[in-house]
Amino acid sequence: MSTPRHDAQGRRSFARTAYDAVPLYDPKRAPVELDLTDNTNLWGMPPAAERAWRDAPVSRITRYPTLYAAELKQALAGYVGVSPDMIVTGCGSDDILDSAMRAFGEPGDVVAGPEPSFAMIPIFARMNALTYAGCVELPSHQPDLDALLATKPALLYLCSPNNPTGTLLARATIERALREAPGVVLLDEAYAEFAGVSAIDLVAHSDRLLVIRTMSKAFGLAGLRIGYAVGQPSLVMDVEKSRGPYKLNAMAEHAAAVALQQDMPWVEEHVALAVTLRERLADALRARGFAPLASHANFVCVPVPDCVDVGQALRAHGVAVRPFPALPHIGDTLRISVGPWSMLERFLAAFDDVMTARRTT
Ligand code: PMP
């Protein structure tokens, strides 16, 4: 037990000491007319999943869900082409990442990850009393694997396509990580559908690889909180143990399974649209003299000086995008989620107004 301490406001804290370095995650997202910050599916919810949600029997709410989401695992197994015992589900992929850190890291162990990457990784590491080691990516936007491996991580985190850059990891980098990492390799493929590329096939050759996926992005189900991971059965079982039973609610589990069984044409159509419009948005930004990074996800990352001020000015125009100040090798950047062209036109009009006003003042 840790000795009670006092926080900055003078209140007593009984939490484990590692929590002193854990902020409450709160990106202060005030409601805004057009929100292009979170890379969800801005076309809406897949239709069969929506019907399943609306037509649910009351027992789906009054009774407990299955312990470990057997129905959804079956559907996911079909989708990714593995057996159901190679899948673990979670309350969003956040839950999988958090549970994996608990399962595979002893307190004090290292979680290593590239910088920049998914902002929750250092937070999950600290929440689980692990030490986070961030290693600045190479100028090519690939992870610096030498630096990452030098930290001897119990968990090595990689993200492909990476958030926030949109960069696809070279397959050789993933293969080398699997050969040389001392512990578990977490490969976050939250945006894989938009890249059309996955490394899930590598789980057949590695007992240390956990590929983490989500239904929050391409499938349009972020509010249902459905994440999953693919790995060899023993690895998956360890995450399942650390995650615990009943973590998926029954309504969400069923709607997600229906989406996988019946809504694939909808999902594929909207992934294709997102890819087309991502390129159209990148062209429009290039035409304005900016140099967006090549993206394989459903967002565009574009260097824009004074991105925090620009982000605030865009908000005043009713449009939210995510600023990332001072990214290594890149500088100030805006990340813009891709949605229907009407939304992106609205963003571009606001962006033009903001940039013109900044040039003339
Ligand atoms: N990984 C990455 C790279 C993400 O960008 C996100 C969400 N922004 C997540 C994981 C978590 O997604 P969820 O918990 O909704 O599955």
pTM of the predicted structure, to 2 decimals: 0.96
**Mean pLDDT, the chain, integer:** 96
State if residue 337 touches ligand 1 by the CB under 6 angstroms criterion: no
Return the ligand 1 atom nearest residue 118 CA: 3
Do 269 and 256 belong to one domain? no
Angstrom distance (rounded) from CA 271 to CA 7: 46
State if residue 163 touches ligand 1 by the CB under 6 angstroms criterion: yes
- The answer as to whether 9 is a domain residue is no
- The CATH number for 136's domain is 3.40.640.10
- Using the Cα atoms of residue 191, residue 195, residue 199 and residue 200 in order, give the sign of their dihedral: positive
In percent, how much of the chain has pLDDT > 70? 99
Do 176 and 77 belong to one domain? yes
Task: List the structure tokens of 263.
Answer: 């809504």
What confidence tens digit (pLDDT) does each residue in 33-58 have?
999 999 999 999 999 999 999 999 99
Q: How far is the CA of 118 from the centre of ligand 1 (A)?
A: 8
State if residue 167 touches ligand 1 by the CB under 6 angstroms criterion: no
CA nearest ligand 1 atom 8, residue? 38
Do 80 and 173 belong to one domain? yes
Do 60 and 145 belong to one domain? yes
Do 30 and 104 belong to one domain? no
Instruction: Please give the helix or strand (H or E) that residue 135 lies within, else none.
Output: strand 131-136
Measured at the alpha carbon of residue 117, what is the angle toward residues 116 and 120, in degrees to the nearest 5? 125
Q: How far is the CA of 161 from the centre of ligand 1 (A)?
A: 12
State if residue 186 touches ligand 1 by the CB under 6 angstroms criterion: no
What confidence tens digit (pLDDT) does each residue in 194-233 have?
999 999 999 999 999 999 999 999 999 999 999 999 999 9
Do 52 and 153 belong to one domain? yes
- The answer as to whether 206 is a domain residue is yes
State if residue 190 touches ligand 1 by the CB under 6 angstroms criterion: yes
Structural domain of 283: 24-43+265-359
Distances (CA, A) of 21 to 14, 120, 130, 209, 257: 14, 13, 11, 28, 38
What confidence tens digit (pLDDT) does each residue in 176-187 have?
999 999 999 999
Q: Distance from first CA to last CA of the chain, Å, rounded? A: 57
Return the ligand 1 atom nearest residue 217 CA: 15
- The answer as to whether 81 is a domain residue is yes
